[in-house]
Amino acid sequence: MSPVKNGDIMKRLRKMMPKTVEPAFNSPEELLQWQREQGQLRSEALERENRAMKMQRTFNRSGIRPLHQNCSFDNYLVECEGQMKALMLARQYVEEFEGNIASFIFSGKPGTGKNHLAAAICNDLLLR
């Protein structure tokens, strides 16, 4: 069998296709470029899926209860000045986490959002 030239492939394909069908590619180079682009898109999609699965495994092993897995700084309800200060300090703690060696301690009355902010800190750090 003799080797097939690039132009011959397209001619042979056109002969096999019905006349009403317009080929998506006019040359083997266009087809190859499309395949590369599709491969890159699929590779990026797989990378996102793998990252999401890894994050889900990390969340599952984190010990954070389902009640607090969606806690964030953005959905923390501030009802008084003390809560605003706690929110600002928690955000600052996360921003400076890499250089931090100190712990962050919450104290206060029940129902003031201590668990929410603690979970928000953990969730933020886990998403990095």
**7 and 24 both lie in a single domain:** yes
**70 and 128 both lie in a single domain:** yes
Q: Please give the pLDDT value at position 7.
A: 63
Beta carbons of 120 and 90 less than 8 angstroms apart: yes
Which domain, by its residues, includes 71?
65-128
Tens of pLDDT, residue by residue over 47-99, are: 999 988 888 888 788 778 888 888 999 999 999 999 999 999 999 999 998 87
Q: Please give the pLDDT value at position 54.
A: 87
Number of domains in the chain: 2
Q: Please give the pLDDT value at position 26.
A: 80
Question: Does pLDDT of 1 surpass 60?
Answer: no
Beta carbons of 119 and 64 less than 8 angstroms apart: yes
**126 and 70 both lie in a single domain:** yes
